[in-house]
Structure 1
Amino acid sequence: MDFYLTALLQGLCLSGIALGIYISMKIFNIPDITTDGSYTLGGAVTGMLLSNHLPIGIVLPVVIIAGGLAGVFTGLIHTKLKINPLLSGILVMTGLYSINLSIMGRSNIPLLNYTTLFDSFHFIADLNWNSLIVLLFIGTLLILLIGYILKSDYGITMRATGNSEKMVSALGVNIDRIKIVGLGFANALTAVSGFLMTQFQGFTDINMGIGIVIVGLGSVIIADTFINWMNISSIWISLILVCLGAILFQLVLAFTLSIGIDPTLLKLITALFVLSIVSLPRLNLTRN
């Protein structure tokens, strides 16, 4: 039970990544690889500040700003230098590796003897269930915030930009600015996941973000599959499904480990699982 509870907690920690990729991939149709770097950036900033005994109230805003700036740089490279968005993300992600290492000062920062978010809020005695309450509260706040933004006038403009840039541009909207802000917002959410996961696992590591983009992508694909199957148009339900996709993704990996699969094959299992989710709807369409 604790094994699957841990997977559930990890899924909630990674919901920020899923929501960030949902914005970049589904709203703007931009495959943003900055995620690998901005996730680690969130963890690096968190580890560095907490190890210097700064309070959570200061750490979280700094993490959000740092992740947002990473996305902004990707947006600027893409829009102002007219570089392919995929390559723009790769360039920023590559540069962030050195930046993250400089922030940390070493490859790993343990946080076992420092006060974390989960130490600051005690609702019940059991640590795992207490963490679940904290993460559910944070996840709810993220969904409410993103839903409110996407349903606002600015959010509607963001969504329209992803659907038809030419139409929005014809209305006099600055497309480049919309994309830059959107990518900044998406990577700020990703950095929040790094902030949460670092405190949940009790350390931050320079390699913690390697391949993390596929976790977020898989979560969004799972959610998108259910959204299409059930013909869901509600933004609120879509955001909830994205978070549930992140949880389901982690539960599947936990099940894989629980049945005795070699942990060295976990990345391969992850890739095959995402491939199966992507392929399933297309196979059904072929049969019809």
Structure 2
Amino acid sequence: MTATAEASRTAAADTASRTRRKRSGAVLGVVAWIVGILFVLPVVWMLLTSFHSENDAATNPPSFFAPLTLDGYANFFGAATGASPWPPLLNSITASVLSTALVLLLAVPAAYALSIKPVKKWTDVLFFFLSTKMLPVVAGLLPVYLIAQGIGMLDNIWLLIVLYTSMNLPIAVWMMRSFLAEVPGEILEAASMDGCNLTRTLRTIVMPIVLPGIAATSLICFIFSWNELLFARVLTATVAQTAPVFLTSFVTSQGLFLAKVCAAAVVVSLPVLIAGFAAQDKLVQGLSLGAIK
């Protein structure tokens, strides 16, 4: 009887524990859905507003069921203003893609030296990389402007590429260092015994293993470059104008045209959204790489 009663109590305790876990899981699921909706709601609201007329977009309280129109997108693509968005969009794509490629080209060997083949005082090196992000961006704006003016690089897309590369490189080195630290040393030792040099080891062994980490790093650097406004606003005019700078031109002295701004914001956000969806699997793998041993 004692053994039977003990078994019954144990079974009841297990059932109660499973019930508590299910309830806590359901609560966490509801909280996650609420947080996700709160993050997505502004984007959905921006998208809906972009399909409204200016009068409907400016109503207070807002009109959810107002007639839909494409006037905001027509204005963005120059039908009403005469300003084409294609040069700024192409400038943003050029600066973001080339700077991201340069960042990866420099960050992967640096992270390799700081993780797999660590140099002396590698922690000091990492702190130095991180310390470059401690200075407020606006503090370096005037010196950069004077240097660019002195060498004749104002309103030049290559100046933005160099700046975006230098701004994203510390973050990329820190991220790639954590990803490369997860590469098994036995694989590298076997490759060395087989006669692989450093270049071949990086290309054929290390790169495929850390490909999710490279995808995550490149996407974050691309987003930071694409969204950068301060340097692009001050250092460019018409030739090298980027999409965020072009977006600010919709806020004029005549007032804020909400529908046109929302339509422009939707179009400018599309490349980042497309890149995120395209690299979604690799991004999740890269951000979780090393989290579970």
TM-score of the alignment, normalized to the shorter chain, above 0.5: no
TM score, norm. by length of structure 1? 0.30
If asked which structure has higher relative contact order (CA below 8 Å, sep 6+), I would say 1
TM score, norm. by length of structure 2? 0.30
Greater fraction helix? 1
Larger radius of gyration between Structure 1 and Structure 2: 2
